[in-house]
Amino acid sequence: HELYSTWTETDLQALKNNIRCLRDITGVRVMAVVKANGYGHGAIPMARSAIEGGAAWLGVARIEEALELRYAKIQEPILLLGYTPLQRFREAIENGISLTVWDKVQVDAAEKTASSLGKVGLLHLKVDTGMNRLGVKSEEALEMAAFIRSKPNLLFEGIFTHFARADEADRYFADTQEKSFTRVVESLEKENLLPPWVHACNSAGALACPGAAFNMVRAGISIYGLHPSPQCPLPDGFQPVLSWKSVISAIKYVEPGQGVSYGHIYVCTKREKVGTVPVGYADGFRRVSGNEVLVAGKRAPVIGRVCMDQLMISLDHIPEANTGDEVVLLGKQGEDQITAEEIAARWGTINYEVTCGIGARVPRLPF
């Protein structure tokens, strides 16, 4: 790219395709989860494309993320999945953003705020069936649902839970959670308290047991074409959305015995062709050993320490490499491909953290 040192490219058609794949598999509505800047892909273009691909809802973690979508003129339903400070309920309700609640203090605050605004507050009740993070205990869900329903200025819009272990080969715990949540849903139904939206599955849950889909699934990782886990790979048809690229900014020939980068942990044993690439750990490219990138469709090892804004690569085996050539950190080039999963294994983490960690100063270019 002529304008940038490093950038990501996001394939909007791939995202729409992935939403369609999920809808086909589950047969229910999809909430596209675009929190954390769309898992690092760029929240606004991902949200717009998800809607175009058939997503009915958008999910975010924080009020700032929800407001960013509203300010971008995105009108679709948005659920704030996590914690919202009570002082910010007003902004959520003013902007028609649905809030997640799990205790009476939140419900009272929402009622008071909605009443003062002359608006209706939209609430989803979170039920904790075993994640032990957020949510009302299963046995208290019925009472909480009745409490929400008793408030004149609140609309009890949804109820949901979250699976802790849906991405494992062993389905036992996910099945236990599903049964627990199903009992809650049935008890609400019996009391005529069931809200219109009932959702439990994340990507892994939706792929592993589409029968547990109720009437909506919340999909994050899979819509970006990334595997929920090694034990829960995506089926054929899903496509990765993101590529991360840079360029060769300089090439030099380093003499034997000379060191490269800070601390000279890499020392050339022969005269070596070394390329400099303007991307570093401040951009989210980790300062660990064993990194590789693609140049001219071939793998080039990163040598020496990754710097804040730059890294060096060995180009001895790529005689055709030149300054200005494209470097692929994540994605396809020629016949080869470096996946987020491969990078995650190298960094001792998961694919989610690889894309979420791409720095804010790296421009996201949708196409």
CA-wise closest residue to 203 among 189, 215, 190, 219: 219
> Residue 253: pLDDT above 80?
yes
Per-residue pLDDT tens over the stretch 233-247: 999 999 999 999 999
Mean predicted confidence (pLDDT) in 262-277 = 98
Distance from C-alpha of 105 to C-alpha of 111, rounded to nearest angstrom: 10
- Give the pLDDT of residue 133: 98
What 3 state SS string does 259-282 have? EECHHHCEECCCCEEEEEECCCHH
> Is residue 92 within 8 Å of residue 69, measured between CB atoms?
no
Phi, psi values for residue 341, rounded to 5°: -65, -40
- Check if 172 is active-site: no
* Catalytic annotation, pick one of 16, 35, 151, 273: 35
* Catalytic annotation, pick one of 73, 119, 262, 298: 262
- Give the pLDDT of residue 1: 76
> Is residue 312 within 8 Å of residue 275, measured between CB atoms?
yes
Domains of the chain: 12-224 (3.20.20.10), 242-366 (2.40.37.10)
pTM of the predicted model as reported, rounded to 2 decimal places = 0.95
Per-residue pLDDT tens over the stretch 48-106: 999 999 999 999 999 999 999 999 999 999 999 999 999 999 999 999 999 999 999 99
- Give the pLDDT of residue 104: 98
Where does the pLDDT of residue 111 fall: very low under 50, low under 70, confident under 90, or very high at 90 and above?
A: very high
Percent of the chain at pLDDT > 90 equals: 97
- Check if 35 is active-site: yes
- Give the pLDDT of residue 210: 74
Q: Quote the mean pLDDT of the chain.
A: 97
Where does the pLDDT of residue 216 fall: very low under 50, low under 70, confident under 90, or very high at 90 and above?
A: very high
Task: Compute the CA torsion angle 322, 323, 329, 335 (nearest 10 deg).
Answer: -30
- Give the pLDDT of residue 109: 99
